[in-house]
Structures are given as structure tokens and as C-alpha cells.
A = this chain, B = another copy of it.
Amino acid sequence: MLFARRGWRGTAIADLAAEVGMSEAGLLHHFGSKRALLLAVVAERDVQAMARGDSLFGPEGQEFLVRFAEFGEGIVERGGLARLFMVLLAESLDPGEPAHPFFVQRFRSMRSRVAELLIAGQERGELRKDFDPMVKAAEILAMSDGLTAQWLLDPDDVDLVAGFRSYAEGLRRDLSR
């Protein structure tokens, strides 16, 4: 995939069009703009993560945290998409940016989804009840994104797989006491 090799700023619409076998005009007509196209790629990454996540987002409570421990491996396999995600997110932090609403909604949805898995664990008596599931969901996503950024920057010095395991196992110990 082009983004994975060159980063998104180096990726011209003409190259993208060639890669997917469409004309440049046809591709832009379909997505409206380069930014819309890039956001579609980011959204597709979430859809794919959710789909694997039969694996990740299916199981609830303790089992979710067991599966989450292995989540770093998938990120390593798809590093180029993770980099595109980071750049677009950083550019969209300001409310005036065109992709701002997309990312606000994306993170709200992800936090709610993770919180639901934790709440189910609380209701089944697998996880403690004295933590706020939304606060913990934000923390889980934060660790995931922050560690991915460190790994993208310096893969020789950061062990993404070990980091996810260590965090998820510690969290499971703490929340299931």
C-alpha cells in the first residue's frame, strides 16, 4: 500500500489512482477530495479492526483484556495505516479543521464501545465496580495510540508487542482484584 511506503504527504492522487486502477478524475469524483479519500482509508482501518475484533470487540470483561494483550501484533502488520492515522489526527486537533468532526466522533464511538465491554465485565462480576468505564476506556485507547506513535518513530527501541502485553496484563490484574 502506498501510504505504508511513503507516508501520506508524499502520496499524490495520481499515484493512488494508479494503485487502485482508476483514473485520477474518477477517484476524486468518487471521494470528492484527497482528504475525504484519506479519511475513508482511516475509517476502513477501524472497520477492519472491528472485524478482526470479532476477536477484539466481541468478548467482554476479562476476555476482552486477554485479547487486547495481543493487539500490538496487528498494528505491527499494518504500520503504514497507523502512521496515516497519527498524521491526520494531529492535523485535526483544532476545531476549525475539516476532519475534526470525524475524529471527535470516531473517538467517542471507540470509547463507548470499549466502555461497554468493561461494563459487561462489571455486571458479570469479573471486573471491579469501583472504576469509571469511560475513563478506563479512554486510557486503553490512549495507551494504544501513544505506544504506536513511539513505535512508529523508533521501532528499534520500542517493543510494541511486549508493551501491549504488559499493559493489558497489568490492567487485568488491577481490574479483576
A residues whose Cβ falls under 8 Å from a Cβ of B: 7, 83, 86-87, 89-94, 100, 103-104, 107-108, 111, 131-132, 135-136, 138-139, 141-147, 149-150, 152-154, 157-159, 162-163, 166-167, 170-171, 173-175, 177
Contacts and interface: CB of A to CB of B under 8 A. Distances in A.
Q: Which 4 A-B pairs have the closest CB atoms?
A: A142-B146, A146-B146, A90-B90, A142-B147
B100 A90 contact: no
A139 B144 CA distance: 9
Contacts of A136: 166
Given A100-B153, A107-B150, A145-B146, A132 B93 contact: no
A167 to B, nearest CB: 5
A174 B158 CA distance: 22
SS class, residues of chain A in contact with chain B: helix
Given A142-B146, A144-B146, A93 B153 contact: yes
A21 to B, nearest CB: 27
Interface centre among A132, A141, A167 (most CB of B within 10 A): A167
Contacts of A103: 153
B150 A138 contact: yes
Contacts of A150: 107, 138, 141-142
A107 B142 contact: no
A53 to B, nearest CB: 19
A174 B170 contact: yes
B173 A89 contact: no
A89 to B, nearest CB: 7
A139 B143 contact: yes
A112 to B, nearest CB: 10
